[in-house]
Amino acid sequence: MSRDSTYVSTRGGTPPMGFRDAVLMGLATDGGLLLPASIPDVHGELRAWSSLSYPGLAKAVMAPFIGTDLEPGVLGDLVERSYRVFADPRICPLTAVGPVHVLELFHGPTLAFKDVALQFLGNLFEYILSATGECLNIVGATSGDTGSAAIAGVRGRSGMHIFIMHPHGRVSPIQERQMTTVLDANVHNIAIEGTFDDGQRVLKEIFNDLPFKNRFRLGAVNSVNWARVLAQIVYYFHAAFRVRESTGCERVRVCVPTGNFGDIFAGYMALRMGAPIGHLILAANENDILARFFATGVYSRGPVVATTSPSMDIQIASNFERYLYYRLDEQPTRVRKHMEAFARSGRLEIPGTDASFLAGRATVPETAAVIRRYYREHGYLLDPHTAVGAAVAERFLDDGEPTVCLATAHPAKFPEAIREAVGEDVAHHPTIDSLMDLPTRCNVLPASRAAVQEFIRVTLGG
């Protein structure tokens, strides 16, 4: 299957562009997010795709969104190199655990689901830049796992520098060390004095400063970058095919612990393409702005609550705008109006419901109880984010649609939460244990555009 790849902004003010330009642009110049102008219908491909290896499936799923923007053979080579570094040859293995099927997305270099996309994006960036002789300075904000995965994807690569902001003291100690122990000359860690939402705000302000963005050739690795979402679409097809094989059921439902709406949006795209998915289950912690939206139609910002699943401690989900574009019938004027209203008041409302989504939240005590129960009853250790998903998924079990739970991180990344839940020090991984005695490098800055821009300017000598 082949098609021309054209990308448009959710706000309609950026000229259409091809895949390469969309990848390098990241956030659209009008402040919106980039999306394919049309979604391919792949119902006719499902039988052939169901027998492919993970790399083969990745190539097949991504190809229609890329068209002729990569030379023949390049996509396959990028995919093969990206997943060669995963510890499990199955890339994203599936395990039946109690009432659910757990899709393990943590076998990459930093033990988090972000590796699935960011290893690919790092290789893609390097290929595009080598072909043009250009450079790229990547700026990102992370609530925990994106930062280390992005750094692992681009560390030491030529033609690139990476600046990653994380909320000072609000990521797990291990997540912090995974970022700050990387001392490559092209890696720059910034701890901002605020929350992840503050970092995300600073990021958007920097990208909306078009003279600065163009002068320093800034690019994005956050899930605002379409290529991140694209690479994540693949494992929804993969999980649905494998569970159909083992259960004989026609469709599955997939539960996604989410804070920024990027991972579950990839599932939404897979569903719209024709993946055998009946429902998506959105699982939130106490920061439940998204769960409340799907229950009430009201998207309303509140204070950020610190939990044991810190990567989900988010109140403003940057990828929600992509979903809003489809809920508003692909009308960018309406999207822009709603996003501007939300920026002013912290609230927007969309009438109606979406039957594709189920949603719920799990509290810190509920999360700990699920970790403890799965460990004692099934001998399986969930990280706190995955446990949020399992807790919510169990409320929506359906014999006709087996449930897949996305396991977004290895439990060794959150040993304190695991120890508190099960009463034992059982969450370990050699990759994590080796970080404890390494030197670190990080800069603490105010959560302001001016402070971060000055740091970038001085670092790059501009």
**CB distance 210 to 29 below 8 Å:** yes
For this structure, is 337 an active site residue?
A: no
pLDDT value, residue 4: 61
- When pLDDT is cut at 50, 70 and 90, the band that residue 424 belongs to is very high
pLDDT value, residue 369: 98
Instruction: Check whether 220 has a pLDDT greater than 90.
Output: no
Segment 262-274, tens digit of pLDDT = 999 999 999 999 9
pLDDT value, residue 448: 97
Return the bridge partners of 255, or none: 281, 405
Q: What is the mean pLDDT of the chain?
A: 94
Q: Return the HEC string of the chain.
A: CCCCCCEEECCCCCCCECHHHHHHHCECCCCCEEEECCCCCCHHHHHHHCCCCHHHHHHHHHHHHHCCCCCCCHHHHHHHHHHCCCCCCCCCCEEEECCEEEEECCCCCCCECHHHHHHHHHHHHHHHHHHHCCCEEEEEECCCHHHHHHHHHHCCCCCEEEEEEEECCCCCHHHHHHHHCCCCCCEEEEEEECCHHHHHHHHHHHHHCHHHHHHCCEEECCCCCHHHHHHHHHHHHHHHHHHHHHHCCCCEEEEEECCCCHHHHHHHHHHHHCCCEEEEEEEECCCCHHHHHHHHCEEECCCCCCCCCHHHCCCCCCCHHHHHHHHCCCCHHHHHHHHHHHHHHCEEECCCCCCCEEEEECCHHHHHHHHHHHHHHHCCCCCHHHHHHHHHHHHHCECCECEEEEECECHHHCHHHHHHHHCCCCCCCHHHHCCCCCCCCCEEEECCHHHHHHHHHHHHCC
Segment 286-313, tens digit of pLDDT = 999 999 999 999 999 999 999 999 889 9
pLDDT > 70 in the chain, percent = 99
pLDDT value, residue 8: 98
Range 110-117 average pLDDT: 95
Structure tokens at 275: 């993946």
- When pLDDT is cut at 50, 70 and 90, the band that residue 2 belongs to is very low
- When pLDDT is cut at 50, 70 and 90, the band that residue 215 belongs to is very high
Segment 334-391, tens digit of pLDDT = 999 999 999 999 999 999 999 999 999 999 999 999 999 999 999 999 999 999 999 9
pLDDT value, residue 181: 96
pLDDT value, residue 175: 87
pLDDT value, residue 1: 46
Instruction: Check whether 3 has a pLDDT greater than 60.
Output: no
- When pLDDT is cut at 50, 70 and 90, the band that residue 241 belongs to is very high
Q: Give dist(CA 442, CA 3) in Å, integer.
A: 44
pLDDT value, residue 103: 98
Pick the catalytic residue from 59, 114, 204, 413.
Answer: 114
Lowest mean pLDDT across 150-159, 369-378, 395-404? 150-159
**pTM reported for the whole predicted model:** 0.92
Q: Tokens 């105010």 appear where?
A: 446
Range 94-109 average pLDDT: 97
